[in-house]
Structure formats: structure tokens, C-alpha cells
Structure 1
Amino acid sequence: MPTLVLGATGATGRLLVAQLLSRGEPVRAIVRSPDRLPEEIRSHDLLEVTAASVLDLPDEELANQVMSCGAVASCLGHNLTLRGVFGPPRRLVTDAVRRVCAAVESHRPAQPVRLVLMSSAGVRNKDLNERVSTAQRCVLGLIRALVPPHADNEGAAEFLRSRIGRQSSFIEWAVVRPDTLINAEQVSGYTLHASPTRSAIFDPGKTSRINVAHVMAELATRDDLWAEWRGRMPVVYNRD
């Protein structure tokens, strides 16, 4: 069954598409600018590309995109420019997750669709009452108020945790939380944790984008790993 990838032209999204294709998995991608995909990916026989914004796609067309998909993986994020950070759409990730979940539910699939969301280690999992120092809480409060993408990431994760929860018959989810993102050429050793093992503000770890893509591809396609992490928010660190 295909995996629908959102944010496929981004730095991590391109790597995720490549990871899935390398496994022989069919991929659908909704992207505003297909020419931003590398040629070797764009011309792949297992890739189906729709040129559109996921927020502007009519409900019926979005429902057709998710139809027959076994998983949806979102690497959506805000461009690190003034317009990307402070301009519209401020709730890109949250609104996209809401729309995709509604599209999945409209089909009432016989088997739950896996939704894998890329987030960040600075987003808390409220199911675990993760402890944060007073200093980090203050800094995150400022970031939340002043930097809209952080609040957007929190909103998307919270929607899955509280609105979809673990009782949905049609959607299962996992939120992948990398720490400081770095570039690397190849997949390397990494670890998954239920909660952060270090401060995302004062003692951040590192996570390569290609490792994030690998984790997301594994979750989308491996039943055993999905059984372990569904309904949870694994934090990903590169091994030192």
C-alpha cells in the first residue's frame, strides 16, 4: 500500500521519499513545486506526485489521495525565513494534520492508517507528564509566544494525542521528535527514547535528518516497530 508523504520537497522529506522508494514502497507526494524534487526521485516508477498545497486541495481530492494508503508521513515545516516563520499559514502543520485525519476518517478504512508526524524534542508528550526545568519552561514559553512554528508543532502533536488518541478505529499515530537537526550522508546509529534524556534548550543532542527519515520509513513499513511506538512520541538521538 502506498505511503502519502507531506513536505516531500523539504530537507528531511526528500530523504524520507528516497528511503521508502529504496525499500520498493510506492509513494504519493503532495508538493507545491514538483521540480524541487531531485530528478532521480521525481522520475521513479513508484512515485506519484500531485502538484498542490495540502491546505488548498479540495476535500474530495485530498480524500482520494489518502484512499488506499497504508500510511501518511508528514515532514511539513515552516521555511526558516522571516516570511516562513512569521507569515501565513501559521498553523500549517496542525491544519494539515487535521485535514488528513478528516480525509482518512471519511473513508472509514478497514485497517487503521498509520500517521507518522515529524516534530521536535522541544514538544512535550503530556501523556507522560514529562518534567521540564523552570528555566526551560520559561524559554519555551517565550519561543511559543514569539516563534509561531513551535506552537504549530505543539498543536499538531496535541491534536493527535487528544483528538485522535488511542481509540480511533481508522487512524493510529506516532510523533517522531528529533533534537538539533544536522545533515549527514548516510544512516548511522541512533537511539529511540520515550522521553527526552537531555534538555532540548540547555543540553541539546543531535539528530541527522537522514536518521529521522529512516525512523519514519521504519515506522510506516515495519509492523513490529509500529506496535512498539504507536500512540507514542519517540525521541531520536544520534549515537555518540
Structure 2
Amino acid sequence: MNKDTTLVVGASGSTGKHLVTQLLNKGEQVKVIVRSPEKLPDAWKNNSQISIIEASILDVSEQDRVNYVKDCHAVASCLGHSPTLKGIYGKPKKLVTDAVSLLCHAIQMNSPKAPVKFVLMNTAGNRNRDLDEPISFWQRLVIGLLRILLPPHQDNEKAADYLSVEVGQKDSSVEWVVVRPDSLIDNDKVTKYELYASPTRSAIFDPGKTSRINVGHFMASLITDDNIWKQWKGKMPVIYNEIA
């Protein structure tokens, strides 16, 4: 296993691009699996730190997935559903959940000598059931409706549940962190941000703001800084931009 190689899925997305850039800045070797390489920055295509794999993680063979993660010390997912009718209501409905479970299985099949870090980008609208986070009646009602009306929300919940329940806290091959940003915004620079074990405000009725570049910075820090990893391993930190 190469201690400096991270596999990223969802790298062509708005947050995934920031994560890859932050990893490169920290000296990581990065593998990206993307269906449309033409969406990637041109600078990546001639960068010796990046390996670009043109594929869909759900469609490749089990052996290919095993090979993709074999030399990686970390795997990160910034996958999400496109904000279109097809992306929200079309297939694959369980894009994030299926990718997480398939990648974790691939890691486990390799029986790595040390646990591989798995970092999943999720949402502050998803509760950490391990902490029994309080939620108001009205927010519970709205989230219940979201599960019915917006399949991507349920996909995010099930992906986090897979890590929390199926992988758990004692797996010998996979350790995990689920990163929960609130309302995502764009920013050109990393700014100060705050991390909490649970939301400090309602994601439905009083959402905070989180810049995508800050999410990428925090995910990269988890992957490259063992002290930060130890602090949040097996948890679902919520990240907000610091309010000036």
C-alpha cells in the first residue's frame, strides 16, 4: 500500500475538484474515477500526481475495484446526484450507497495490513443515529417528506448508515469519517471553518453555510493528518464556515 495515494470518486463534481486540488497541494498521489474525463481541469491531465481512470465505479468488475483500491491508504467519495430530473429521479437511485458499499467491500477483499481511511461527503440534513441527535417535530416531518419526494436524500442517509452500521467501529480493514456540510456555497479561497460533532442549527429552518473549498480542505486534512483523523474517526462531523 502506498501511504500517499488516495482514490477519489466524484472528482469531477463541484466539491470533488476542490478535494483533489487540496490533496495535490499536500503532496498526495491521487487516483480519480470519472465517467467524463473531459470535465476535469486540463492541468490535471498532465500532472504526474494524478492517475485518471475513465469508468463508472458501479459498472466495473469486482476485480477492477479491488485493483483500484489495492495501493491506496485512503478512499474519498464526493459523489452526488445531478440536480436534474434524471439525476434526482432516474437510475441509479442508490448511487452513493452502492458506491460506498462496493468500495468498502473491495478494500476488505484486499485485507490491508493497516485500515484504509474512508471519507464520505454527506449532508448536515442527515442525523448521526449513533448520537441520537435531537430533532424537532417539524424538521422530522420535513425530512420524512424529503425521503419520499427526493430519493437522493434517502441515498445519503443509507450511505452513512452503511458505514456506521455495516462497517461499524471495529472493522480491521476500513475506518471512516462522514463529513456533513450544511448549505453549500462557492468560494475561491479556504477560509476559517468550525467543526462540531452534531449540528448546532436546523439544516431545514436555520441552515448554516459551508463553502465547497472548505469541505475539500477538511476532507484532505482528514486523509493526510493522522491527528485530525484520530479526532474524528468513526464520527460524523458537521462543518460550517466561521461567521465573522
Q: TM-score range by the shorter chain?
A: over 0.9
- What pairs up with 1:129-208 in 2 under 5 angstroms? 129-208=132-211
Deviation at 1:87, TM superposition (A): 0.3
Report the secondary structure of 2:52's partner residue. Answer: strand
What is the aligned counterpart of 1:127 among 127, 130, 146? 130
- What pairs up with 1:1-240 in 2 under 5 angstroms? 1-240=4-243
Distance 1:83 1:226 in 2: 36
1:100-129 deviation per Cα after TM superposition (whole angstroms, max 9, x unaligned) = 000000000000000000000001100000
Report the secondary structure of 2:158's partner residue. Answer: helix
Deviation at 1:42, TM superposition (A): 2.4
Deviation at 1:35, TM superposition (A): 1.1
TM-score, with normalisation over the residues of structure 1?
Answer: 0.99
TM-score, with normalisation over the residues of structure 2?
Answer: 0.98
1:45-65 deviation per Cα after TM superposition (whole angstroms, max 9, x unaligned) = 100010000000110011000
- Ranges in structure 1 where 5+ consecutive residues have no aligned partner: none
> How many residue pairs end up in the alignment?
240
Identical aligned residues as a percent: 53
Contact 1:8 1:31 in 2 (8 A): yes
* Runs of 4+ with deviation above 4 angstroms: none
Distance 1:57 1:22 in 2: 29
- Ranges in structure 2 where 5+ consecutive residues have no aligned partner: none
Deviation at 1:170, TM superposition (A): 0.4
Distance 1:97 1:42 in 2: 26
